[in-house]
Chain A
Amino acid sequence: QSVLTQPPSASGTPGQRVTISCSGTGSNIGDNYVYWYQQFPGTAPKLLIYRDDLRPSGVPDRFSASKSGTSASLAISGLRSGDEAHYYCAAWDNRLSGQVVFGGGTKLTVL
């Protein structure tokens, strides 16, 4: 069971806006930055969002994110078939000696 909680699946039709939630606690999301990664089947994850809501260069502004308290969310607007992938949230967790924790991942299906 993952430390951060994500819905296992999400879906939308082309052009729609979808959001994916990520729930944590005060020791991770509540006290540290949130990151989002996109992963296509058989490939390595790719950084999508860092420092809660910033996009690396090359990531379209259709992708946005926010954080409030111990929860975060990723939003994808103008949904495209090429967005169909797994999305993972991540954060540092202060418990014990500290560690990176991931959400269980959300499979986004474009209908």
Chain B
Amino acid sequence: VQLEESGPGLVKPSQTLSLTCSVSGASISDPSFYWSWVRQAAGKGLEWIGRVYITGTTDYNPSLNGRVAISLDTSKSQFSLILHSLTAADTAVYYCARGSPDVFQAFDYWGRGTLVSVSS
């Protein structure tokens, strides 16, 4: 199983971030799994952003105040993150990860992460 993030490395304040996670070696359509985004600011801890199931069910971190949306594209075996109204506080490494029932809903596979900087 491999996950790989892609997207712009630099985004301007107030703009919208769009990231994609490409999944290989596993079926993104398998209802057992969920697909998440986690971010980490430089020198800081991990922050969960949200998750999506193949059913379309989503859960998001309340601290993001409705700025986030996560969706699946089964035809491309990808899932995406949209984050609106960016500020410098959104500068971080963004990871995509899979949640699996095999490990009681823990994240068993992660992407390598992609650095997103929010700056004018």
Which A residues have a C-beta under 8 Å from some C-beta of B? 2, 33, 35, 37, 39, 43-47, 50-51, 54, 56, 88, 90, 92, 96-105
Report B42 CB to chain A, min CB distance, Å: 11
A51 touching B46, Cβ below 8 Å: no
Number of A-B contacts (CB under 8 A): 64
A50 touching B62, Cβ below 8 Å: no
B61 touching A99, Cβ below 8 Å: yes
Q: What are 21 contact pairs spanning A and B, CB under 8 A?
A: A2-B45, A33-B104, A37-B46, A43-B112, A44-B110, A45-B38, A46-B110, A50-B103, A50-B106, A88-B45, A90-B106, A97-B59, A97-B62, A98-B59, A99-B60, A99-B62, A102-B45, A102-B46, A102-B47, A102-B48, A103-B45
Q: Is the interface of A mostly helix, strand, loop or mixed?
A: strand
A45 touching B110, Cβ below 8 Å: yes
- B95 proximity list for chain A (CB < 8 A): 44-45
Among A39, A45, A96, residue most surrounded by chain B Cβ atoms (within 10 Å): A45
Report B107 CB to chain A, min CB distance, Å: 6
Closest residue to A39 on the B side, CB-wise?
Answer: B46
Beyond the given pairs A44-B110, A45-B110, A92-B105, 8 more chain A to chain B contacts, judged by CB atoms under 8 angstroms and listed by A's residue number, are A35-B106, A50-B104, A88-B45, A97-B59, A99-B48, A99-B61, A101-B48, A102-B46
Bound complex: CA A43 to CA B45 (Å)? 13
Bound complex: CA A81 to CA B62 (Å)? 38
Report B62 CB to chain A, min CB distance, Å: 5
Bound complex: CA A90 to CA B107 (Å)? 10
B117 interfacial by beta-carbon distance below 8 Å: no
- A33 proximity list for chain B (CB < 8 A): 104-106
A105 touching B103, Cβ below 8 Å: no
Bound complex: CA A100 to CA B95 (Å)? 14
Looking at the complex, which one of A43, A45, A104 makes contact with B107 (CB distance below 8 Å)?
A: A45
